């Protein structure tokens, strides 16, 4: 089995190294990751400049291929020429912080996995629920256990799948119950933060994500808050199927 691993926090992020080490022995591993932290870049591809790739040399990152672009660039370039083969599985993460509810639309971690899925390769995105890497080794052990469980239940070669996994920052993460969830919803983001730059210009920092709004039983937020690992199967189709007939009746054109 060949596994491609990417992330969005950049190739030096502890979560990437932990995920790579946790998958040792499962198959042949290629790591292709962004040079910079590219959190929040969603599915962006870099189209206005070329991308460079270099091979990292540091002890923790030896052999990682580093791309001067986004998480989607990494997986896209890997699958369309850099690797020279088609991986059987794409993994992304482990992200520094949750990707639950609306986060999934902005997440580079989810996007890297989604890029694999768009190419027909099964893919799993992993995130730790809290930032700061507490209990990262336990999260990596949880990721390994989940990959093994998923592969046993869903042999490769069938239909591709896209799973979004959020892991509580706990020392017992690998043995916590796992639950299949749906995405919750967040409140709108906090207000933008306005500051004055050293040159006297008004500058703006995007504010933090809003708190969970729809976080009831069955959601990813609920699972993580109650000490379980959340596994959400994702799809890419954003069509609002339920409202299509209504729009067609109002605007014509059939449904
Ligand atoms: Mn990130």
pLDDT, residue 47, reads 98
For residue 252, the CA-to-ligand 1 centroid distance in Å is 43
For residue 79, the CA-to-ligand 1 centroid distance in Å is 21
pLDDT, residue 119, reads 98
pLDDT, residue 156, reads 85
For residue 206, the CA-to-ligand 1 centroid distance in Å is 15
66, β-bridge pairs: 33, 54
For residue 81, the CA-to-ligand 1 centroid distance in Å is 25
For residue 38, the CA-to-ligand 1 centroid distance in Å is 7
For residue 14, the CA-to-ligand 1 centroid distance in Å is 11
pLDDT, residue 202, reads 98
* CATH 3.40.1210.10 at 2-185+212-251, yes or no: yes
Report CA 254 to chain centroid distance, whole Å.
37
pLDDT, residue 255, reads 55
Q: Which own/partner contact pairs does 207-211 have at CB distance under 8 Å and 24+ positions apart? A: 209/102, 209/103, 210/186, 211/186, 211/187
Q: Which residues contact 158 (CB under 8 A, 6 or more apart)?
A: none
For the chain, domain boundaries: 2-185+212-251
Residues of the chain with pLDDT under 70: 254-255
Predicted confidence (pLDDT) per residue in 164-176, tens digit = 999 999 999 999 9
pLDDT, residue 54, reads 98
pTM of the model: 0.96
For residue 231, the CA-to-ligand 1 centroid distance in Å is 18
For residue 15, the CA-to-ligand 1 centroid distance in Å is 10
């Amino acid at each position: 089995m060949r596994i491609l691993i990417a992330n969005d926090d950049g190739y030096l992020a502890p979560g990437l190294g932990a995920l790579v080490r946790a998958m040792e022995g499962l198959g042949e591993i290629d790591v292709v990751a962004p040079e910079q932290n590219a959190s929040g870049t969603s599915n962006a591809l870099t189209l206005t400049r070329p991308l460079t790739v270099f091979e990292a040399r540091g002890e923790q990152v030896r052999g990682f291929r580093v791309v001067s672009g986004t998480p989607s660039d990494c997986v896209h370039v890997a699958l369309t020429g850099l690797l020279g083969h088609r991986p059987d599985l794409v993994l992304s993460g482990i992200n520094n912080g949750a990707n639950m509810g609306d986060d999934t639309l902005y997440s580079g971690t989810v996007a890297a996995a989604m890029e694999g899925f768009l190419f027909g390769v099964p893919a799993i995105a992993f995130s730790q629920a809290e930032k700061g890497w507490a209990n990262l080794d336990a999260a990596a052990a949880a990721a390994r256990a989940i990959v093994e469980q998923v592969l046993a239940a869903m042999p490769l070669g069938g239909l591709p799948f896209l799973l979004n996994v959020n892991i509580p920052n706990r020392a017992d993460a690998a043995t916590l119950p796992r639950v299949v969830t749906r995405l919750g919803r967040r409140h709108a983001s906090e207000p933008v933060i306005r500051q004055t730059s050293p040159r006297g210009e008004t500058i703006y920092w995007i504010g933090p994500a809003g708190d969970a709004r729809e976080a009831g039983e069955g959601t990813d937020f609920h699972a993580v808050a109650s000490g379980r690992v959340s596994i959400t199967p994702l799809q890419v189709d954003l069509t609002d199927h339920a409202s299509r007939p209504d729009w067609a009746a109002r605007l014509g054109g059939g449904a």
